[in-house]
Amino acid sequence: MPSEFDVASLGPCTVPSPLARYHDHEGRTIEFVDDRECILVDDRLCRVSDRCDAGGGFPALELAGPRRQLFFEPGRVRIGIVTCGGLCPGLNNVIRSVVMSAEFHYRAEKIFGFRHGYAGLVQSNGWIELDSELVSNIHRLGGSILSSSRGPQDPARMVDRLVDLGVNILFVVGGDGTMRGALAIAGEIRARGLKVAVVGIPKTIDNDLRFLDQSFGFETAFSQAVQAIDAAHAESKGAPNGIGLVKLMGRHSGFIACAAAVASGEANFVLIPEVPFRLEGPNGLLAVLRRRLERRRHAVIVVAEGAGQDLFPEEAAERDASGNVKLHDIGAFLARRITEHFRATGFEVNLKYIDPSYIIRSVPANPADAVFCATLGLNAVHAGMAGKTEMLLGQWHNRLVHVPIAAAIAQRNRVDPTGPLWLSVLGVTGQPLSMM
């Protein structure tokens, strides 16, 4: 019974893994993972019992990890890697891990790094060769040594390039747009009957991807954002009726805003795309802000960039090269509206607006993300060597899994306004349950 979670592969695996030579001090081999080892998508007892009573059928995700038999031949495999879309902490760590794993564990013949995202797959000279020496220190650097770009390219031309270079596995690091591009490449590959694996490593600084407990770089990003909230807090207390207003990333999902606010413990209002709010009215932000200022004389507001978009007049949306709708600038808007409102009502406030923007995404990965990226890269290589394709590396219930790209991008992960994270935010901020 085919399921939406079945992972495609290029064919039967018949080459023994070189990792079988690894033995521990007691002679045991490493733990290979069998394709049939899956973990349940829904592991709640009640649901499992129900399904059991109903005669079975447990949707499950394939576990990532080294396979005993491979599709590609170690020593002769050629791999490519490309990073697309906006920067995210850990890109270099992922690149480094893919390169080192391919070289050390599977003795890849050649490793190509495509520069400037998918554009590097269609430009002449769009790639460089990578090896462990070259990547040995890149995990100390923010950004991507391969650079990046936005937007799609012609799948046919990209596959031509892969064929020219003899690439067997293409690792694609990027967000949902990038993953759609990966599917287009894989479709072209399938149409031509080629044996090239396309393995996705999901990158979403907003942490909004399905089947991904936490995306790489997310932790580094919100940790960095804490600094901006702390600065806003100091500013808010540094002047009479001080208001510190911080805009953070988060187009569709407020995870960064929520996590940074809880970590900092200094935010008094968190505004996210998932929870609408009004400015005016007795429960609107302006009124509750006034009450807070009267009571405590200072306030810190954290707003995710995608929050409050309904406060702007409806108009034809602009889009960027990735096809993302250009958001209205809610931070500048709030700064202006709050200042004007209190000036009009003769209530002195001192608003300081902080927009750390790219600072939170351009820093090097912190140690926890470094470990996570190392693991992601390693397991992506395991997957590619086993001929897995059109899939990406997810993390579900704390284990790395293989998820078909189509399933992963089918819906977006968002903060649940009735769930535990938002309850933590309410507890930390003391903000009203609803500002509608």
The full DSSP string for 400-416 is EEEEEHHHHTSSB----
| Residue 35 binds its own copies (CB under 8 A) | no
Q: Is 206 a catalytic residue?
A: yes
| Residue 66 binds its own copies (CB under 8 A) | yes
Residues 4-23 that bind its own copies (CB under 8 A): 19, 21-23
The span of 60-68, 286-294, 335-343, 384-392 binding its own copies (CB under 8 A) equals 60-68
**Of the candidates 356, 360, 358, 363, which has an alpha carbon nearest to the alpha carbon of residue 139?**
363
**Of the candidates 297, 307, 316, which has an alpha carbon nearest to the alpha carbon of residue 334?**
307
E-assigned strand segments in 115-160 = 127-129
| Residue 206 binds its own copies (CB under 8 A) | no
> Judged by CB under 8 A, which of 8, 40, 286, 311 binds its own copies?
40
431 residue type, one letter: Q
| Residue 351 binds its own copies (CB under 8 A) | no
| Residue 36 binds its own copies (CB under 8 A) | yes
The span of 170-178, 200-208, 305-313, 363-371 binding its own copies (CB under 8 A) equals 363-371
| Residue 168 binds its own copies (CB under 8 A) | no
Least Å distance, CB 409 to its own copies, is 21
Separation between Cα atoms, residue 231 and residue 300, nearest integer Å: 10
Task: Considering the complex, state which of residue 186 and residue 383 has its C-beta at the smaller distance from its own copies.
Answer: 383
| Residue 174 binds its own copies (CB under 8 A) | no
Residues 255-294 that bind its own copies (CB under 8 A): 259-260, 262-265, 275-277
Separation between Cα atoms, residue 197 and residue 70, nearest integer Å: 12
Residues 381-400 that bind its own copies (CB under 8 A): 397-399
How many positions of this chain bind its own copies (CB under 8 A)? 116
List, in order, residues 6 or more apart from 312 with CB less than 8 Å away. 328, 333
| Residue 401 binds its own copies (CB under 8 A) | no
Which parts of 147-273 fold into alpha helices (H)?
155-165, 176-192, 218-236, 255-264
Q: Can you give the length of the chain in residues?
A: 436
Contact (Cβ atoms closer than 8 angstroms) between residue 90 and residue 372: yes
Separation between Cα atoms, residue 200 and residue 394, nearest integer Å: 9
> Judged by CB under 8 A, which of 3, 58, 337, 339 binds its own copies?
58
> Judged by CB under 8 A, which of 1, 2, 11, 25 binds its own copies?
25
Kindly state the DSSP code that residue 212 receives in the 8-state scheme.
Answer: B
| Residue 407 binds its own copies (CB under 8 A) | no
Distances (CA, A) of 118 to 121, 345, 405: 5, 53, 17
Least Å distance, CB 228 to its own copies, is 6
Least Å distance, CB 112 to its own copies, is 18
State the catalytic residue, choosing from 206, 208, 230, 369. 206
Residues 127-166 that bind its own copies (CB under 8 A): 136, 139-145, 147-150
Task: Considering the complex, state which of residue 10 and residue 376 has its C-beta at the smaller distance from its own copies.
Answer: 376
Task: Considering the complex, state which of residue 196 and residue 370 has its C-beta at the smaller distance from its own copies.
Answer: 370
List, in order, residues 6 or more apart from 3 with CB less than 8 Å away. 59
328 residue type, one letter: H
Contact (Cβ atoms closer than 8 angstroms) between residue 369 and residue 89: yes
> Judged by CB under 8 A, which of 1, 24, 315, 326 binds its own copies?
24
Helix (H) or strand (E) holding 242: strand 242-248
Residues 227-256 that bind its own copies (CB under 8 A): 227-228, 230-235, 237-240, 242, 244
State in Å, rounded, how far the first CA of the chain is from the last one: 47
**Of the candidates 267, 287, 270, which has an alpha carbon nearest to the alpha carbon of residue 279?**
287
Least Å distance, CB 220 to its own copies, is 9
Residues 91-130 that bind its own copies (CB under 8 A): 96, 100-101, 104-105, 116, 119
> Judged by CB under 8 A, which of 354, 383, 385, 393 binds its own copies?
354
| Residue 306 binds its own copies (CB under 8 A) | no
Contact (Cβ atoms closer than 8 angstroms) between residue 322 and residue 177: yes
| Residue 69 binds its own copies (CB under 8 A) | no
Adjacency order of strands within the sheet including 242-248: 242-248, 298-304, 269-271
Q: Which residues are the active-site residues?
A: 206
